[in-house]
Amino acid sequence: NTALNGLIVTGNAGMGKTRSVKKALDDANYIENEDYHYVKGSSISAVALFALLWQNREKGKITILDDVDEIKFNQSTIGSSTK
Protein backbone atom coordinates (compact mmCIF):
# COMPACT_ATOMS: atom_id res chain seq x y z
CA ASN A 1 0.00 0.00 0.00
CA THR A 2 1.53 3.30 -1.07
CA ALA A 3 -1.18 5.58 0.31
CA LEU A 4 -0.06 8.60 2.31
CA ASN A 5 -1.47 8.22 5.81
CA GLY A 6 0.20 11.16 7.47
CA LEU A 7 2.52 14.06 6.92
CA ILE A 8 4.49 16.14 9.39
CA VAL A 9 5.54 19.63 8.37
CA THR A 10 8.02 21.25 10.74
CA GLY A 11 9.97 24.46 10.79
CA ASN A 12 10.45 27.75 12.53
CA ALA A 13 7.49 29.98 13.32
CA GLY A 14 6.44 32.30 10.53
CA MET A 15 7.72 30.21 7.65
CA GLY A 16 4.25 29.73 6.16
CA LYS A 17 3.76 26.05 6.92
CA THR A 18 0.06 26.35 7.73
CA ARG A 19 -0.59 28.80 4.91
CA SER A 20 1.13 26.49 2.41
CA VAL A 21 -0.84 23.43 3.46
CA LYS A 22 -4.16 25.27 3.46
CA LYS A 23 -3.36 26.84 0.07
CA ALA A 24 -2.56 23.42 -1.41
CA LEU A 25 -5.91 22.11 -0.17
CA ASP A 26 -7.69 25.20 -1.50
CA ASP A 27 -5.96 24.81 -4.88
CA ALA A 28 -7.22 21.21 -4.95
CA ASN A 29 -10.76 22.52 -4.31
CA TYR A 30 -11.00 21.04 -0.82
CA ILE A 31 -13.49 22.80 1.45
CA GLU A 32 -12.68 23.35 5.13
CA ASN A 33 -15.01 21.51 7.55
CA GLU A 34 -16.29 19.44 4.65
CA ASP A 35 -13.24 17.84 3.03
CA TYR A 36 -10.78 18.64 5.79
CA HIS A 37 -10.66 19.95 9.36
CA TYR A 38 -8.20 22.50 10.69
CA VAL A 39 -7.40 22.27 14.41
CA LYS A 40 -5.39 24.89 16.30
CA GLY A 41 -3.86 23.21 19.34
CA SER A 42 -4.67 26.03 21.73
CA SER A 43 -8.36 25.88 20.78
CA ILE A 44 -9.17 22.21 21.43
CA SER A 45 -9.10 19.89 24.40
CA ALA A 46 -7.34 16.54 24.28
CA VAL A 47 -10.70 14.76 24.50
CA ALA A 48 -12.21 16.85 21.70
CA LEU A 49 -9.13 16.21 19.55
CA PHE A 50 -9.47 12.47 20.08
CA ALA A 51 -13.18 12.66 19.17
CA LEU A 52 -12.43 14.67 16.00
CA LEU A 53 -9.77 12.18 14.90
CA TRP A 54 -12.14 9.27 15.56
CA GLN A 55 -14.97 10.93 13.61
CA ASN A 56 -12.65 11.52 10.66
CA ARG A 57 -10.92 8.16 10.59
CA GLU A 58 -12.33 7.09 7.21
CA LYS A 59 -10.11 6.87 4.18
CA GLY A 60 -9.71 10.23 2.46
CA LYS A 61 -10.45 12.39 5.52
CA ILE A 62 -7.88 15.08 6.28
CA THR A 63 -7.20 16.69 9.64
CA ILE A 64 -4.64 19.47 9.98
CA LEU A 65 -3.19 19.71 13.49
CA ASP A 66 -1.51 23.08 13.91
CA ASP A 67 0.54 23.72 17.05
CA VAL A 68 -1.13 20.71 18.61
CA ASP A 69 1.69 20.51 21.15
CA GLU A 70 0.04 23.51 22.86
CA ILE A 71 -2.65 21.19 24.23
CA LYS A 72 -0.31 20.09 27.00
CA PHE A 73 0.05 23.70 28.21
CA ASN A 74 -3.66 24.46 28.40
CA GLN A 75 -4.95 23.45 31.84
CA SER A 76 -8.56 23.31 30.63
CA THR A 77 -7.57 20.58 28.19
CA ILE A 78 -6.02 18.25 30.75
CA GLY A 79 -8.12 18.80 33.85
CA SER A 80 -7.95 20.95 36.92
CA SER A 81 -4.97 19.33 38.57
CA THR A 82 -1.44 18.64 37.44
CA LYS A 83 0.98 16.29 39.11
pLDDT, one tens digit per residue, over 40-58 is: 877 777 788 888 888 888 8
Q: Is the pLDDT of residue 12 over 60?
A: yes
- Residue 72's identity, in one-letter code, is K
Q: Is the pLDDT of residue 19 over 90?
A: yes
Number of neighbouring beta carbons within 10 Å of residue 72: 12
Q: Is the pLDDT of residue 70 over 80?
A: no
Q: What are phi and psi of 56, to 5 degrees?
A: -115, 35
69/58 Cα distance (integer angstroms): 24
Contact 44, 70 (CB under 8 A): no
Q: What is the pTM of this model?
A: 0.68
